[in-house]
Structure 1
Amino acid sequence: MSPNRATLAGCVALALWAFLAPLARLAQPLPPLLITALGFAAGGLLGLAVVVARGRLGALRQDALAWAHGVGGLAGFHALYFAALALAPPVEANLLNYTWPLLIVLLSAPLRGLTLGPQRLAGVMLGAAGAALLLGGGARFPAEAMAGFACALAAALTWALYSVLSARFTRVPTEAVAGFCLVSALLAGLGHWALEPAATLTARHWLAVALLGAGPMGAAFFFWDIGMKRGDPRLLGTLGYATPVVSTLLLVAMGEGRLSWQVLAATALVAGGGLLAALAGGGASAEPSK
């Protein structure tokens, strides 16, 4: 697959992830680990069906390091992300989580040897200013929201590291993601059983889980794996700034928040920084240094 097509696959993942926060809120008030377990189970089973249909079941046989990278990235990010949405105002927590495109751009230089340049760095600084404004712009949050914001930032770092380090696992076929999802579901399920209260699922919860598994916690992982391994992580990282704009608007439309001046300004800074960095060029043909 060409780098341009691989980057396009990553863009499909970004579009699907715009629906992650709205669907996670639709699944409330289920505990975070339970949402993680059910979403991964749905996505993993759908992925496994495709893998079996293609006769690629052997792709699930990978070494321990590959499993640690895949399961740690997928399960770690989503457990932290859903905790953030549960503990903090969802619009603000969602925007803070979307500092991961900024981190992908920054980490692409030391971890993959890709150049940044002044225009990309300027875009990254605008995105950082948006995140800082969100926390320091005079908004008043309950005490427990700080724990949620910490989870959102930890989720962003987890996903950025998982994404950038994917290039070091090019030998691992994309089909293996189905196995990573299923093991992540098992670990999250055990965590729910040990740490969280039991919950009763309604028809609305099951619908949210099914949609999560089909899109942002299913197909999106496969597209993202292709994009990170064979496309340009800098371009995908910067284009990722468009996702929180759509996601935030969807949350507001659901009545999960309001468009305060802090949210509007932070969204403009985050999206504007991403656009500025994306216009720096150097697209999908760039290859990481060996």
Structure 2
Amino acid sequence: MQLDTSRRIGSPWLGAAAAALAVVLWALVPLLVAQAGELPPLRLSALALLAGALGTLPMARRRRHGEAPLSRLPGGLVYLGVPLLVAGAVGACVVAFRLAPAEEAALLLYTWPVLFLLASRRLATGRLPASTLTGAGLAFSGAALLVAPQALAGGVSGAWAGHGLALLGAACWALYSLACQVPAWRLGERMPHLLLIASVMVGGLSLVLEGVHALPSRESLLATAALGLGPYGLAMLAWDRALRDPMAQRLGNLAHAVPVLATLFLVLAGVTTPDWRLPLAALLVVAGSLVASR
């Protein structure tokens, strides 16, 4: 895999604005999942990805005339591997929010920028500096702060399945972000097709595991449409644009603001109650990202 280190032409603020937009939209995911509560998690994921595919259709760039098509091997990676990563990230994320408290799952899920930073540094330089490893340790200690008290109090509980799925979603998001930096794959212009394939993957799994359910309410459908059009539609295009910026690694640090904003939105909406561990854990995650990016 070759990361995009070529020089880009455009406003230096465009990449930062795109990254900030993606961060704000992703912070709304736990709240929107809670609003669409009556839908089974995999069904919700499939419908949200379908809405994202339809929403990104007019915004995706057309392939320029004369550009060489993908070869057979990269084409298989793009149209099978990338949708599999998206399906795993979105499906694991939604199920994690159902099995574990939303604020805990969000902080575990959004350790993915640290994983992305570790992988991209390793691929770009062939080594991992001490500051990068220290920052990663700080970020993961923030996640452990939420999980450890439950483990000490009650042993292995049902929430551990949600915690594990949140970490799986984090790994999928990190790998997807690496894929966005491969210039020849041009994921932005292929986004509708990739999201549609991912929707079919999750939808098929939903039919097998969740069966057929009655039509959801209007409120659930509206929350699902907002989830697809925003966090899994517009935000995906914005993040793809941000990762094609020359300062992509620094812009990636903005993603560490997601758990802080997500927790704030949950508290403001009354979905969760304030807990002293939440701001401290969020602070550790953000501090770890800053140290790792030095």
TM range (shorter): 0.7 to 0.9
Question: Equivalent residue of 2:282, what SS?
Answer: helix
Question: Equivalent residue of 2:158, what SS?
Answer: helix
1:70 Cα deviation from its structure 2 partner: 2.1
Whether 1:268 aligns to 2:280 is no
Contact 1:240 1:274 in 2 (8 A): no
- Deviations along 1:164-194, one digit per CA (max 9) or x if unpaired, are 2332353425110111011111221111111
| Equivalent-residue separation in structure 1 for 2:185 and 2:174 (angstroms) | 20
The percent of aligned pairs where both chains have the same amino acid is: 34
Whether 1:239 aligns to 2:254 is yes
Question: Equivalent residue of 1:50, what SS?
Answer: coil
| Equivalent-residue separation in structure 1 for 2:206 and 2:270 (angstroms) | 28
1:277 Cα deviation from its structure 2 partner: 4.5
Instruction: Check 1:118–1:95 CA distance in 2 against 1; reply closer, same or farther (3 A cut).
Output: same
Contact 1:87 1:145 in 2 (8 A): yes
| Equivalent-residue separation in structure 1 for 2:150 and 2:62 (angstroms) | 56
Match of 1:175 in 2: 189
Contact 1:111 1:165 in 2 (8 A): no
Contact 1:6 1:230 in 2 (8 A): yes
Instruction: Check 1:97–1:171 CA distance in 2 against 1; reply closer, same or farther (3 A cut).
Output: closer
Question: Equivalent residue of 2:57, what SS?
Answer: helix
Question: Equivalent residue of 2:59, what SS?
Answer: helix
Contact 2:19 2:242 in 1 (8 A): yes
Q: CA RMSD in A?
A: 2.6
Instruction: Check 1:259–1:209 CA distance in 2 against 1; reply closer, same or farther (3 A cut).
Output: same
Which one-letter code corresponds to 2:289 in the other structure? G
Contact 2:22 2:236 in 1 (8 A): yes
Question: What pairs up with 1:79-98 in 2 under 5 angstroms?
Answer: 79-98=91-110
Match of 1:255 in 2: 270
Instruction: Check 1:264–1:2 CA distance in 2 against 1; reply closer, same or farther (3 A cut).
Output: same
Match of 1:164 in 2: 178
Which one-letter code corresponds to 1:104 in the other structure? F
| Equivalent-residue separation in structure 1 for 2:43 and 2:85 (angstroms) | 17
1:127 Cα deviation from its structure 2 partner: 1.0
What is the TM-score normalised by the length of structure 2?
A: 0.84
Instruction: Check 1:50–1:164 CA distance in 2 against 1; reply closer, same or farther (3 A cut).
Output: closer
1:276 Cα deviation from its structure 2 partner: 4.2
Which one-letter code corresponds to 1:85 in the other structure? F
Of residues 16, 20, 33, the one that matches 1:24 is 33
Question: Equivalent residue of 2:216, what SS?
Answer: coil
Of residues 187, 199, 222, the one that matches 2:201 is 187
Of residues 203, 220, 238, the one that matches 1:223 is 238
Of residues 32, 45, 63, the one that matches 1:36 is 45
| Equivalent-residue separation in structure 1 for 2:214 and 2:106 (angstroms) | 24
Contact 1:39 1:210 in 2 (8 A): yes
Which one-letter code corresponds to 1:220 in the other structure? A
What is the TM-score normalised by the length of structure 1?
A: 0.85
More deviation in 91-100 or 181-190?
181-190
Match of 1:129 in 2: 141
Of residues 94, 101, 111, the one that matches 2:113 is 101
Which one-letter code corresponds to 1:229 in the other structure? R
Instruction: Check 1:172–1:55 CA distance in 2 against 1; reply closer, same or farther (3 A cut).
Output: closer
Contact 1:105 1:116 in 2 (8 A): no
Question: Equivalent residue of 1:170, what SS?
Answer: helix
| Equivalent-residue separation in structure 1 for 2:194 and 2:262 (angstroms) | 25
Whether 1:213 aligns to 2:228 is yes
Contact 1:102 1:237 in 2 (8 A): no
Instruction: Check 1:37–1:237 CA distance in 2 against 1; reply closer, same or farther (3 A cut).
Output: same
- Deviations along 1:97-128, one digit per CA (max 9) or x if unpaired, are 11101111111112233876554444333212
Match of 1:15 in 2: 24
Which one-letter code corresponds to 2:76 in the other structure? A
| Equivalent-residue separation in structure 2 for 1:35 and 1:275 (angstroms) | 34
- Deviations along 1:214-261, one digit per CA (max 9) or x if unpaired, are 210101111111222344443233221111100011112223222222
Of residues 40, 54, 62, the one that matches 1:45 is 54
Match of 1:286 in 2: none
- Deviations along 1:132-178, one digit per CA (max 9) or x if unpaired, are 21111357578210000000011101111111233235342511011
1:35 Cα deviation from its structure 2 partner: 1.0
Which one-letter code corresponds to 1:74 in the other structure? V
Unaligned runs of 5+ in 1: 281-290
| Equivalent-residue separation in structure 2 for 1:115 and 1:239 (angstroms) | 23
Contact 2:36 2:219 in 1 (8 A): yes
